[in-house]
Chains A and B, each alone.
Chain A
Amino acid sequence: MTEYFLHIAIISALHIILALSLNLIIGYCGQVSLGHAAFYGLGAYTSALAAIHWQASFFLTLPLAGVVAALFGLGLGIPTLRLRDDYLAIVTLGFGIIVDLILLNLEVTGGPDGLVRIPPPQLAGVDFRNKFMYLLLVALVVAFTLGLIYRLVHSRHGRALKAIRDHEMTARVMGINAAAYKISIFTLAAGLAGLAGALYAHYITFINPESFGLHTSILVLTMVVLGGMGSILGSVVGAGVLTILPELFRRFADYQDLAYGAMLIALLIWRPQGLLGTGKISQKFSLAKNRAKKGN
């Protein structure tokens, strides 16, 4: 039983990283990525392949997974966020489909069967097959993610980001390169999703493209909206709730996507700030209705 709870905790923690990183995109780019699961998958496959083919240590393949996913994020962010950020959702949706297509068709990724026998992390004297130890490892990355976001928000760049978030036009006039900041945030978020992917691959030890499809991207999006767009604590809670609830309602697994779809619409209409959104970003999404055009 403990094993089972530890498993849920690990999956929750991975979802927390995904939700936090997607929330960064929503909060600071004002856009949504539907390819978040693809970055997650890129991280998972990168790390797994490096470990299988080069016998590289997990502690090298983990950052590698992050960097590879981030590079893809950069490549996608530059054309998309430079001029028309409202295309990000559909471009990332397409990206997700392409990544899926490639994972299914390439020989090296094992096609639909995916990769098996991914080695668990090895570190002198620590057995990461022990779920508790693995949870600690994942928790460390969650802490790293939270620390990174905290540092980001409270740095000079954080102030620029806030300026872009609140008044993009004014920020641009002040000489802040809004597009460059948005691309950086998107790249960072993709990298974080890549880290989560690596952690997932070496935990589950077998992966196939199914785990990294649109379903997962929608799941993460629902977590963020449920918790509250722009709320860090909200993402943590949203990820927890939407990891645990499906476990409780296994019998209704077929209705999961139906529920997520309905939930997204219902939340936006009746509670756009989500469970915990109270901050500036949440207000942007909920109170916009009252913000009228300037005139006299």
Chain B
Amino acid sequence: MLLQQILNGLTAGSVYALIALGYTMIYGILGLINFAQGEIYMAGAFATVLLLSAYKVNFFVAFLFGMGVAAVLGLILERLAFRPLRGSHPLVPLISAIGASIFLQSLALLLFGPADRAFPLQFEFAALDIAGVTVSTLQVAIFVTALFFMALLVVFVKYTKFGKAIMATALDQDTARLMGINVDRMIALTFLIGSALSGAAGIMMAIYYNTTYPRMGLLPGLKAFSAAVLGGVGNIPGAIVGGLLLGVAENLGAGYLSSGYKDAVAFAILIIVLLVRPKGLLGGRGH
């Protein structure tokens, strides 16, 4: 039972971590809580589902397509809703992000309707029974894929020129410019990466729960933000640890307390972290 909950929690948590990475990177570089992150997650899922329903394409092609759509949407948002407001009081881009979030959500509602859509899967997943714990190969696939993306990001940030330039921009924009770093481009790149990861998260959740709908991004968005705060906003390993912990805590809460309030666990954690350790477990950085 306990092990089962932990396993389920790690699956969901690895997806939260992917979204949390987007929050944390964008917050690190712009000091902005990107409220539209959940809608980008939703857009990635919809793009994949629609493509798979309409054409007989390979699943992996559709997956990459969904990530691409999410990334482009992130870039458009940055360009239209955030860049014109750079340098304003921090509240201004925050409200703009809220506007973008509600806009995308209602746009999806108008375009796709409120009904759930199932995920048109092309292959089946097996359920493995290991010492009384049921693990589906889907869970394993999600967890491994999420870890792969996380590892990719960490390697990118730590070992590539542009990754380091993003970190430098997050630390000190003026000095980054003095190195010849184009700050606008680094911010756009951050949105691109964060959005692609959120898109991937959306697709995986759409498969996991076999459902896609316009408001699907709201709760995972909030949970991922809580995960980012738990790990320390602006801190990349923090987002990963925070996401995994949050997923586990949520499933344990649902299993041992009440499943009706499963979604409240993330929020309770957010409040407790703010009260007890506002910098998060691994410490915040950036703005």
Contacts and interface: CB of A to CB of B under 8 A. Distances in A.
Interface of A: 26, 30-32, 34, 76, 78-80, 82-84, 86-87, 89-91, 93-95, 97-98, 101, 105, 214, 218, 221, 225, 229, 254-258, 260-265, 268-269, 272, 284-286, 288-289
A221 B95 contact: yes
Interface stretch (B46-54, B122-130, B219-227, B244-252): B219-227
Contact of B260 (A90, A105, A225, A272): A105
29 contacts: A31-B91, A32-B91, A76-B271, A82-B274, A82-B278, A83-B278, A86-B31, A86-B94, A89-B33, A89-B94, A101-B260, A101-B263, A105-B261, A214-B102, A214-B218, A218-B98, A229-B91, A257-B109, A260-B102, A261-B104, A264-B99, A264-B102, A265-B80, A265-B100, A269-B96, A284-B89, A288-B89, A289-B87, A289-B88
Given A86-B33, A90-B225, A272-B88, A218 B261 contact: no
Contacts of B110: 254-255, 258
Interface residues of B, number: 46
Contact of A32 (B98, B100, B101, B109): B98
A95 B260 CA distance: 16
B148 interface: no
B89 A79 contact: no
Interface of B: 31, 33, 35, 80-81, 84-85, 87-96, 98-107, 109-110, 218-219, 222, 225-226, 229, 260-261, 263-264, 266-267, 270-271, 274-275, 278
B92 A268 contact: yes
A272 B85 CA distance: 10
Nearest to A285: B89
B226 A94 contact: yes
A264 to B, nearest CB: 3
Contacts of B264: 98, 101
A80 B273 CA distance: 10
A91 B105 CA distance: 20
A79 B275 CA distance: 5
Given A101-B263, A105-B260, A263 B99 contact: yes
A265 B90 contact: no
Chain A CB within 10 Å, residue with most, of B109, B271, B278:
B271
Contacts of B93: 268
The 6 A-B residue pairs whose C-beta atoms are closest, nearest first, are A261-B103, A264-B99, A257-B106, A261-B102, A258-B106, A79-B274
Nearest to A254: B110
A26 B98 contact: no
B274 A268 contact: no
Chain B CB within 10 Å, residue with most, of A30, A94, A260:
A94
